[in-house]
Amino acid sequence: MMQPLISIALCTYNGAKYLQEQLMSIVHQTYKNIEVVIVDDCSTDNTIEIVKNLQKTFPQIKLHQNEKNLGFNKNFEKAIGLCTGDYIAISDQDDIWEPSKLELLLNHINDNWLIFSNSIFVDEQNNELGKTLLQPSFKLGERDFRSLLFYNFVTGHTTLFARAFIPYIFPIPNSGYYDWWMGFIALYHKKIAYLNKNLTRHRIHGSSVMNKEEQATSSNPKEARFLEKTKNLEILKDYLNLGPEDKQLISDLFKSYSKKKKYNLFLIIQMIKNYPDFFPDLKKRNFISRFNFALKMGY
């Protein structure tokens, strides 16, 4: 019986320093029926040269070069659209995959649309930093879509998803985070699974997307987090398959955040009422503690 084809959507932009190591970890996966769809967003280093050299040995690597820079979200949308596999995995250009990553994710996705896993942080030399993306105790449990309104735990480079999921996530919004969008939709439809294994060595370095974002927002991190939540609520409220009550809740939360008022009664009530559903990974709180927490969540 033929194994299903897994496509790896890999977007590159000036990723020459670590790209070869990542590609070697992909082509040497224990799961062999793969294609690697690389979409380069106008790199100016020798990223293209590295890919073309590897293509001579590994024909499953396919290269597409953008004529103009599309940006992060739209480049991933293009890469996903070019994938022909039954399943699609997202790859960053500077990580290292554990050899059995694809095999394990495929074996555990079952009839879900999307599965995600955990990652361990490493430095530029691939030394472990003693920290994981999610807490080792993280569980998906019975949480619902409300747990993805204010923070994201579904990170793109940890995911594998079925082709049937694509019509629900396209078009990917121009702004915000594509993986937050994907995770929310999969969770909303209860078609999501979590595999509690570190399947990616996620490299942290000076030019990584994560570091650049932290540097850009370091001057006022509280304001940056507020704007991030506001933007996410703005995007999610327009998801076409929301039920009327759910759409109303997200729309009202967005309006409350947009007012930038610290003492917003609606927001305070919602934070107190829905605290366990909004923040299942935070400590349990009594009424007074929830009230104080709600005040801090204001602008």
Residue 276: what pLDDT?
96
- Is the pLDDT at 164 greater than 50? The verdict is yes
Confidence band of 222 (pLDDT split at 50, 70, 90)? confident
Q: DSSP character for 87?
A: E
Confidence of residue 298 (pLDDT cuts 50, 70, 90): low
Whether the predicted pLDDT of 211 surpasses 70:
no
pLDDT above 80 (res 226)? yes
Q: Whole-number mean pLDDT of the chain? A: 93
pLDDT 10s digits, 96-127: 999 999 999 999 999 999 999 999 999 999 99
Structure tokens at 69: 């820079």
CA-CA-CA-CA torsion sign (130, 11, 155, 96)? negative
Q: Specify whether 182 is located in the same domain as 229.
A: no
pLDDT at 143: 97
List the structure tokens of 271: 């934070």
Question: Domain tally for the chain?
Answer: 2
- The last residue of a domain, from among 179, 209, 239: 209
pLDDT of residue 221: 84
Taking alpha carbons only, the member of 167, 185, 187 closest to residue 239 is 185
**Domain hosting residue 192, numbered range:** 6-209
pLDDT of residue 2: 80
**Is residue 82's pLDDT more than 50?**
yes
In a domain, 134, yes or no: yes
Structure tokens at 235: 């995007």
Give the model's pLDDT for residue 215.
46
Give the global pTM: 0.93
Segment 11-61, tens digit of pLDDT: 999 999 999 999 999 999 999 999 999 999 999 999 999 999 999 999 999
Q: What percent of the chain has pLDDT over 90?
A: 83
User: Count of residues for the chain?
Assistant: 299
> Which amino acid is it at 268?
I
pLDDT for the residue 79: 96
Does residue 228 lie in a domain region? yes
Longest distance between any two alpha carbons in the chain, whole Å:
64
Three-class SS state of 203: strand
Q: In terms of domains, do 228 and 139 share one?
A: no
Same domain, 116 and 28: yes
Distance of alpha carbon 265 from alpha carbon 263, whole angstroms: 6
Tokens of 172: 């990917």
Which helix or strand (DSSP H or E) is residue 70 part of?
none
In this structure, the answer to whether residues 17 and 165 fall within a common structural domain is yes
> What is the mean predicted confidence (pLDDT) over 153-174?
97
Assess whether 253 and 130 both reside in one domain.
no
Alpha-carbon distance of 36 to 93, in angstroms, equals: 12
Cα separations (Å) of 298 from 146, 153, 221, 232, 269?
18, 22, 14, 16, 12
Q: What are the CA-CA distances from residue 247 to residues 2, 228, 237, 251 (Å)?
A: 42, 19, 6, 6
First to last CA, the chain: 57
Looking at the structure, do residues 225 and 140 belong to the same domain, yes or no?
no
Output the pLDDT for position 208: 59
Position with higher pLDDT, 297 vs 255: 255
Do residues 102 and 137 both lie within one domain?
Answer: yes
Query: How many C-beta neighbours within 10 Å does residue 220 have?
Result: 10
pLDDT of 264: 82
pLDDT at 209: 53
Average pLDDT over residues 132-140: 97
DSSP secondary structure letter of residue 85: S
Q: Which residue has the tokens 């933007």?
A: 231
Find, among 94, 85, 67, the residue nearest to 205 by Cα: 94
16, 159: one domain: yes
Is 245:188 a contact under the CB 8 Å cutoff? no
Is residue 154 one of the residues assigned to a domain?
yes
Of 176, 209, 242, the last residue of a domain is: 209
22, 43, 49, 120, 123 from 16: Cα distances, Å? 10, 9, 9, 22, 16
96 and 224 share one domain: no
Q: Residue 183's pLDDT is what?
A: 98
Q: Are residues 49 and 131 in the same domain?
A: yes
Are residues 186 and 240 both part of a single domain?
Answer: no
Q: Kindly state whether residues 136 and 251 are assigned to the same domain.
A: no
pLDDT at 218: 53
Last-in-domain residue among 174, 190, 209: 209
pLDDT of 214 above 60? no
Beta bridge partners of 91: 10
pLDDT of 281 strictly over 60 = yes
DSSP bridge pairs for 121: 202
pLDDT of residue 199: 98
